[in-house]
Amino acid sequence: MPITTTSPAHTRALGQKLGALLQPGDLICLQGDLGAGKTTFTQGIAAGWGALDEVSSPTFVIVNVYRGPAQTRLYHLDTYRIESTAEAEELDLDSMLTQGPLLVEWPERIQPILPVARLWITFTYKSDAEREIKLEASGARYQHLLALITNQ
Ligand SMILES: Nc1ncnc2c1ncn2[C@@H]1O[C@H](COP(=O)(O)OP(=O)(O)OP(=O)(O)O)[C@@H](O)[C@H]1O
Ligand SMILES: [Mg+2]
């Protein structure tokens, strides 16, 4: 069941709920067109997770790493500039996933190298202030996360 948010703050609040639950190894895919709300949602995740750094999305940076309390790390990947599977393979997602949760914007661009177990979130522009957010879980861990964020 998709959720419709009616402001950037509303989208951030939903992200925050998810962020508070994330652990190392968790993979969150954020799909949606330009301006659909992926980074806004990521800001909420980072806040809920406890990031000490601000979320940034400079177009030339592929991986952002945010520090958390006690040496923890949150990885934020924006694959928009990735041009080949070979380039994607160099990212070494596995080593990021052993160290922290991983958020991926434009996940469809690196689909072949993404682990199958993940939470896949699709953002759709509805109007100036409205975005439809669809959450799909593959695997027990993500079904659990989805139940926690949609049932409270
Ligand atoms: N309900 C809403 N949820 C999220 N963003 C919204 C909403 N309503 C309006 N906005 C606006 O839409 C824009 C979303 O931008 P954002 O950077 O989050 O998108 P994005 O999906 O990361 O785009 P890009 O692919 O360019 O990085 C922001 O300017 C935000 O203020
Ligand atoms: Mg973005």
**In the sheet that 3-5 helps form, which strands lie side by side, from edge to edge?**
3-5, 130-138, 118-127, 27-32, 102-105, 73-78, 63-67
Residue 60, pLDDT > 90, answer no
pLDDT at 152: 56
Domain boundaries along the sequence of the chain: 3-135
Instruction: Return d(Cα 73, Cα 77) in angstroms, integer.
Output: 13
pLDDT band at 7 (very low <50, low <70, confident <90, very high): very high
**Residue 40 corresponds to which tokens in the numbers above?**
């806004």
Instruction: Return d(Cα 81, Cα 22) in angstroms, integer.
Output: 26
Of all protein residues, whose CA lies closest to atom 26 belonging to ligand 1? Answer: 34
Cβ–ligand 1 distance for 37 under 6 Å, the answer yes
Class for the domain spanning 3-135: alpha beta
Residue 88, pLDDT > 90, answer no
Identify the residue with better confidence: 130 or 91: 130
